Amino acid sequence: MTSNPLGSDLPYLSATEAQALFTSGELSPVELMKTVIERTEKVEPTINAFTERLFDEALEQARDAEDRYLGKGGLTPRPLEGIPVAAKEKHAIAGRSLTEGSLTNQGNIATENAPVIDRVVEAGGIIHARTATPEFSIATYTHTRLWGVTRNPWNPDFTPGGSSGGSGAALAAGTALLATASDIGGSTRIPAAFTGTVGFKAPYGRNPGLGPLVADHYRGDGPMARTVDDCIALQNVLAGPDPRDHTSLRPKLTLPTRYEDAAGLRLALCVRLGAYDVHPEVETNLRATAKALADAGAKVEEIELPWTREDLLTAVAGHFSTIFGAVVSEVAERDRDRLSSYAVKFADTMAYARTRVSYLDSLRAEQRLQRQLSEAMAPFDALLCPTTAVPGWHAGDDLADERLTVNGEEQCDTFWAAMTSPFNISNRCPVLNVPSGRSSWGIPTGVQIVGHTYDDPTVFRVGKAVERVRPWAYTPERRPVL
């Protein structure tokens, strides 16, 4: 394969562009991997997105991928052949460490691959690095006592979000073309919003998981990428049933790769989701996105949901304290001193919540919220709303105080800084985050595209439409300066 003239643009190729160049012989998977490795060595001291680098193995796999594109050995390229993919550390890789960012798990070795890892490897994707999370993936920022602070490539004073913050940071920094993520309260969508990337919270059961928490209907694994097309490509690899996860849906849904434009779409615009105080810059970017879609022929109508803070808090408190929070509380009971301060606070808060809110209370609130959402969305194809209420928060902060302070100014109550958990409560809805613009703080903002239950193709149609009418590409003038 010939040398490619793209040079410094190589780390910011989309996966679909890279595969086209592989197929034409204009680019080698080995050349791309070497460039991504060089980029990593340059920016990682600042960003700290990776917990483990698998570069030697990745280069060997890139050589095998090159052979496939050259037709050697009778093997043909697979759907992700030769593409560098960063994997969230919580996605187990057999024989490798599985700490979830906690000192309490040091020495823990995975005995099998997570389903998303198997899917990526079987599709020819090359896992060249593993990405950082907050401890146990419980926070909307990414730092731990084990790995240190992960920073946003757009503005290193700020966090890339969490819990899939390392994945979002790697994509924005040009050190991965695709990344795996997970979402139990916004862990895919918040980092996607803050890093100007695309993140998909698949509806419950669409993508298989591993371990007891796959039975938690708030959670799910999914894709992150820099473009909607790339997100589709990874999602089509991740989806489908797996016998290790009895909740995984069959038959597999394969997303289309081509979509109609925005004309004729019926879209609801909801700025506050009934309960949130939204920063003016977030609202401005959301409204600009909605107007661009309307100008392209979509019918956009502003609505307000009747959701209350009481119902949202009750649903989340009863659910998390009973399931996910109970897992962290078990660790805190036996190894409290080795936990980060925010993990201790989470465990204590969940223990308190269990004395105040029952799981039945949570289910009653969930049902009210779900019905209200369903009724409000009935006349529409999808709903648009902000991903976060605030354009970001600082790297290294634990958000331990009740009020979120950014740049010396109070913004809102910390619990209400992200607008993602309502759609984990309504987790049969697919939700796609796409960029909506940038804030004066130097980092991107995001819009959530919420679909009807299990209507994944529509959110991707809207996402593609947003990408057309408000182009967001990692061109030289639209990349982080590192």
User: d(Cα 303, Cα 338) in Å, to the nearest integer?
Assistant: 46
The confidence score (pLDDT) of residue 7 equals 61
Active site residue 88: yes
Of the pLDDT bands very low, low, confident and very high (cuts 50, 70, 90), residue 240 is very high
With a cut of 80, say whether residue 234 has pLDDT above it: yes
Q: Of the candidates 356, 352, 336, which has an alpha carbon nearest to the alpha carbon of residue 344?
A: 336
Q: Of the candidates 400, 360, 418, 447, which has an alpha carbon nearest to the alpha carbon of residue 184?
A: 418
With a cut of 90, say whether residue 475 has pLDDT above it: no
Residues 124 and 77 sit within 8 Å (Cβ to Cβ):
yes
Give the CA count within 13 Å in the CB-facing half-sphere of 449. Answer: 33
Each residue's pLDDT tens digit, 274-309: 999 999 999 999 999 999 999 999 999 999 999 999
In the set 14, 167, 187, 321, the catalytic residue is: 187
Domain ranges of the chain: 7-474
Residues 177 and 125 sit within 8 Å (Cβ to Cβ):
no
Strand pairing report for 148-149 and 403-406: unpaired
User: d(Cα 459, Cα 202) in Å, to the nearest integer?
Assistant: 10
With a cut of 60, say whether residue 203 has pLDDT above it: yes
Active site residue 201: no
User: d(Cα 440, Cα 418) in Å, to the nearest integer?
Assistant: 18
The confidence score (pLDDT) of residue 3 equals 46
Please, is 45 exposed, middle or buried when counting C-beta atoms within 10 Å of its C-beta (0-12, 13-18, 19+)? exposed
In the set 14, 28, 88, 321, the catalytic residue is: 88
- How is residue 163 written in tokens? 């819990």
Of the pLDDT bands very low, low, confident and very high (cuts 50, 70, 90), residue 9 is confident
Q: CA dihedral in degrees (314, 319, 325, 330; nearest 10)?
A: 120
Lowest-confidence pick of 210-214, 397-401, 407-411: 397-401
Average pLDDT value over all residues in the chain: 96
The confidence score (pLDDT) of residue 231 equals 98
- How is residue 311 written in tokens? 């119902």
Region of 310 (left: φ > 0; alpha: ψ -120 to 50; beta: rest) is alpha
Task: Give this prediction's pTM.
Answer: 0.97
With a cut of 80, say whether residue 8 has pLDDT above it: no
The confidence score (pLDDT) of residue 6 equals 62
Q: What is the CATH number of domain 7-474?
A: 3.90.1300.10
Lowest-confidence pick of 9-23, 95-109, 382-396, 401-415: 401-415
Each residue's pLDDT tens digit, 437-464: 999 999 999 999 999 999 999 999 999 9
Mean pLDDT (whole number) for 71-99: 97
Mean pLDDT (whole number) for 237-264: 97
The confidence score (pLDDT) of residue 310 equals 98
In the set 163, 167, 321, 439, the catalytic residue is: 163
Each residue's pLDDT tens digit, 358-380: 999 999 999 999 999 999 999 99
Residue 473 vs residue 295, higher pLDDT:
295
Angle at alpha carbon of residue 125, lines to 122 and 131, rounded to 5°: 115
With a cut of 50, say whether residue 2 has pLDDT above it: no
